[in-house]
Chain A
């Protein structure tokens, strides 16, 4: 199965600052996605991270607020910009296993904005 790691695992940030979350996957992964899970809620897709091109964002999410990069097949970053307390969530990276087509998730980044 695909192995996905994220860092940082958690952070506490001040409003108005930005945080970049890194996601590293092994070579079995094709597609990569970023999700947000607000406290006590389900997972909501932020965007699909496209290798070497701009990410594809879902309704309600914009590039200026959540810039995403994927410079190669195995690495992606999500930045949460100009943070406010409403951005306090768990952010999860996921990858689609090339062989099994099962979607695996990273351990998540627990973000608290004060």
Chain B
């Protein structure tokens, strides 16, 4: 069975600090997809990234970066120079290889960035 674990339930940082959100997953599939979503206080889910299990290259998008380590089944998310607008709940998720299946979500990490 698939499982996603986000051990950090809440993180609080001061603006401009860097912060890393951890995600560990379990799956029996050899190929799969990993995702990160952001849920701001307004409630909508904002897609951030999808990563195929074959692609272990780290990715950077502006202040966001993702570190995928298949050896440790982790897909961590780092925000550099955090801003108040980054305050949200962040979910890590996993789906089967076909990509045609629903997502299994972690419990989420609530990030508060304090000015």
Which positions in B face A, CB cutoff 8 Å?
Answer: 33, 35, 37, 43-45, 47, 50, 91, 95, 99-103, 105-108
Contact = CB atoms under 8 A, between A and B. Distances in A.
Interface residues of A, number: 25
Interface stretch (A15-23, A68-76, A79-87, A105-113): A105-113
A48 B102 contact: yes
B100 A30 contact: yes
B106 A104 contact: no
Interface of A: 1, 30-31, 33, 35, 41-45, 48, 90, 92, 94, 96, 100-108, 110
A102 B47 contact: yes
Nearest to A101: B99
Contact of B50 (A33, A44, A102, A108): A102
B100 A43 contact: no
B39 to A, nearest CB: 9
30 contacts: A31-B101, A31-B102, A41-B107, A42-B91, A42-B105, A42-B106, A42-B107, A42-B108, A43-B103, A43-B105, A44-B105, A45-B102, A45-B103, A90-B43, A94-B103, A96-B100, A100-B50, A101-B50, A101-B100, A102-B47, A102-B50, A103-B35, A103-B95, A103-B102, A104-B47, A105-B37, A105-B44, A107-B43, A107-B44, A110-B43
A100 B105 CA distance: 20
Contacts, number: 51
Contacts of A102: 47, 50
Given A90-B43, A107-B43, 8 more contacts: A31-B100, A35-B102, A42-B108, A48-B102, A94-B103, A101-B33, A103-B35, A110-B43
B103 A103 contact: yes
Contacts of B33: 101
B99 A96 contact: yes
